[in-house]
Amino acid sequence: MNDKALRKTIEAITLPIVELAGPTPEGYELLNRQTVTLPSKLITTNIAKQVTLNPFGDKPQTFIVDRVADVKALPFDHASLGMIMVSALPLSDHDAHNGPYTAAIKQRVAAEYDAVCSGDLSVIRYALHLHLYKEAGRVLAPGGPLLQVWPHERDIEAAQQFGLALIFERQHTDHAVVFQKLSGS
């Protein structure tokens, strides 16, 4: 998919657009570079109503999100979202709450990716990106895009297991991918 087709796909969305693990005050470079205008208000979510970030390298700022949502169990109905956006989602639940990875956490996350990429979707526990794809496959309407910044090296392979196909990839100052929920998945 080229830039123009991606812009048309996004601007044609009629269902709600949700940002997970937000907000992203500096915006999404992929959308900014292509001058994409979101067709509806972005609903920001995070695991807490109030989030403190240091987005511009200055002093920390506190933001209030529109809705509390955990990527492991999104509070949205089946096929109810037009698009999901996520930037810098931690790779594992441990990383999100306890800081740096240990060798044991790395091994558990790698084992989950191995299992999922082999077709066993029942093992997901620690890997937040795998939870993201499972939930995106459930809540996105057919054809709905998932824009992800900074994917893991095995995310493209893993996302396919949940009915999400890679339709766009851009490596500029950030690495962004766009998946699309396949019809009938």
Query: Residue 36 falls within a domain, yes or no?
Result: yes
Predicted confidence band of residue 163 (pLDDT cuts 50, 70, 90): very high
Number of domains observed in the structure of the chain: 1
Does 58 have pLDDT greater than 60?
A: yes
Q: What integer best gives the mean pLDDT of the chain? A: 88
Query: Residue 108 falls within a domain, yes or no?
Result: no
Mean pLDDT of 30-39: 84
**Residues contacting 99, CB < 8 A, separation 6+:** none
**Residues contacting 106, CB < 8 A, separation 6+:** none
The residue behind tokens 């800081």 is 99
Residue 97 is predicted with a pLDDT of 53
Collapsing DSSP to helix, strand or coil, 30 comes out as: helix
Predicted TM-score (pTM) of the model is 0.90
Query: Residue 32 falls within a domain, yes or no?
Result: yes
Query: Residue 68 falls within a domain, yes or no?
Result: yes
Q: How far apart are CA 124 and CA 116, in angstroms?
A: 8
Domain interval for residue 168: 3-91+128-181
